[in-house]
Every structure is written in C-alpha cells, then in structure tokens.
Amino acid sequence: MKFQVNHNFLITFLTIFIIFSKSNAKLMSFQSEYEISNLQKEEARIPGKTYVDKASGYLLIDWLNSCQNSWVSNQRMMTRFINSHGVGTLSEINYSLNEMNSGDKMEFVLEIKENAEVQERFYGMAKKSSDLEVKFKQRETKHNFPTDVIFPRQFLDDIISNLNSKKKIMVRNVYEGTIPDKYFKISVFFTDEIKIVKNNIISKNISNEFRKIKMAYYQDSEQTPIFEQTVLLNDQGIANSFQYDYPDYSLSLKLKKIKLVPSECK
C-alpha cells in the first residue's frame, strides 16, 4: 500500500483558505500553517490488510495579491506515514497557482514527491472561452471540459455567499489542476453547527465564529465520493480545522499559525 497523500484534496486548501475582509469582502493576502495528524477509525481491521497507524506533518500556504489582476497561491505539504508494519513513507506536495480575477484563466504547477523522489510534475494552463480548455507544457495531452466547470475563486465566492444563508446544499463542477486530467463534482452541505474559537492564534481581526460544512468529492460518473471533508469555516473564508475521510484512513489538519500580509498594491 502506498502512503502518498491523495493530492486531489488540495483543492480545498486553495478554495477555503482565501481570506475576506469582513467589512467589504475584499481579498486579503496571508500566510498560514496547519498541523497534520491522523484519526484512528474504530472499525475492526481486516487481517492481512495494511493500515495507516500514524500520520504527521504540516501544510504551508501563501495566498498573495499579485497586483496584476490575479492572485497567487503557493502551497507545500509534507506528510510522514507509518503503516501497520512499521514502514514509513514521506510524501511531499508542492503546488502553485496564478488565477486571474476575471475567472477565465489560470496557470498552475504541481510537483509530487515520495521519499524525496519526484513522482509527477505538471505545468498547466486553463482558459475559458466557448468551453474550458486545459493545456500542459511538455505534454501533448489537451482537455476540453464543459462551460459549467469553474475555477477555485468562483467556487469560493459561491461558498461564502451561501455560508450564512438558509441554503442547505449546493453542487459545483470545479477544475483546479491537482488532478490534471479531471475536474471534480463537489457537493457542499451547510450545517447549523457553529463553534466559537478563542485563542492566541485567532487575532482580533479574524472572526471567531466558525460554521461546520461538509463536502463530498466525486469524479466521472461514480456514485461514491473519492473522499469527504468536514471544515470549520468563518464568514471571512478562514478555516480553523479540516478533517479528510478516505476509504482507508482519515486526516486532521488544525490551524497552527496565520498571518495577514499587508497589501503593497497601489
């Protein structure tokens, strides 16, 4: 069993960790860090099957205004897995995205390493016109997706605008490049559960009321999600924690540091 983190869930980091000013919904630049651990499932283990006994690591995210009508995100995730046989695997994911404010174009770079060896590397560009066209550098492969497939910024906008509404569910098709040849169909469920968080991590400029939302990620025509996540999200678009549930294991990511970066744009 390979213990490389499923890099397709990076979409949620990109789309959730964008910060909005509470007063005028203006995007703000930030840097953040999350601590990764695993959650043990209570179900009985099947003899002969390999399981994750321990996962640890961190996620670093920069979300910055490029001052050129676009936003740039740089993300690095390091995760060490120890399986039920005591064997360890180190996974590293580096992901960068430059998305235009207009929502019609984005460029991305994805690199995946396992035990310090590069497994995959992609340089891609996605552009919307009559459809959504995706091209790659150093690859002849090209994709054309339906016009209703959106980029992460619009997906985030839809989540934030419905976070405190009476809507209980929304569904969107989203492309963000972490699975370069596919897009996601994402079902978002809004709950009524709110958690008040007060600590030295959340500064006075950040709302400490976090609503629990759940998301299910589908691909192709499958009826079963490839993974699910639960997130505590405030009305500024800041997540206090995540939980990712995969068929074989679950991961918890908790906010460790967050720093707002003053804009230098004129």
Q: How many domains does one find in the chain? A: 1
SS (H, E, C) 6-50: CHHHHHHHHHHCCEECCCCCCEEEEEEEEEEEEECCCCCCCCCCC
Asked if the structure places residue 93 within a domain, the reply is yes
Residue with tokens 């995540």: 242
Asked if the structure places residue 217 within a domain, the reply is yes
By residue range, what is the domain housing residue 114? Answer: 7-43+51-261
Asked if the structure places residue 107 within a domain, the reply is yes
In angstroms, the CA 202 to CA 5 distance is 28
Distance from the Cα of residue 213 to its chain's centroid? 14
Asked if the structure places residue 2 within a domain, the reply is no
Asked if the structure places residue 245 within a domain, the reply is yes
pLDDT along the chain (266 residues), means of 10: 46 47 53 92 83 94 82 91 94 92 91 94 94 93 94 84 90 92 95 90 86 94 93 85 90 92 74
Report the 10 Å Cβ neighbour count for 198.
Answer: 7
Asked if the structure places residue 266 within a domain, the reply is no
105 Ramachandran zone, left/alpha/beta (phi>0; psi -120 to 50): beta
| pLDDT of amino acid 24 | 38
Asked if the structure places residue 136 within a domain, the reply is yes
| pLDDT of amino acid 60 | 92
Dihedrals phi, psi of 156, to nearest 5 degrees: -60, -45
Report the 10 Å Cβ neighbour count for 102.
Answer: 11
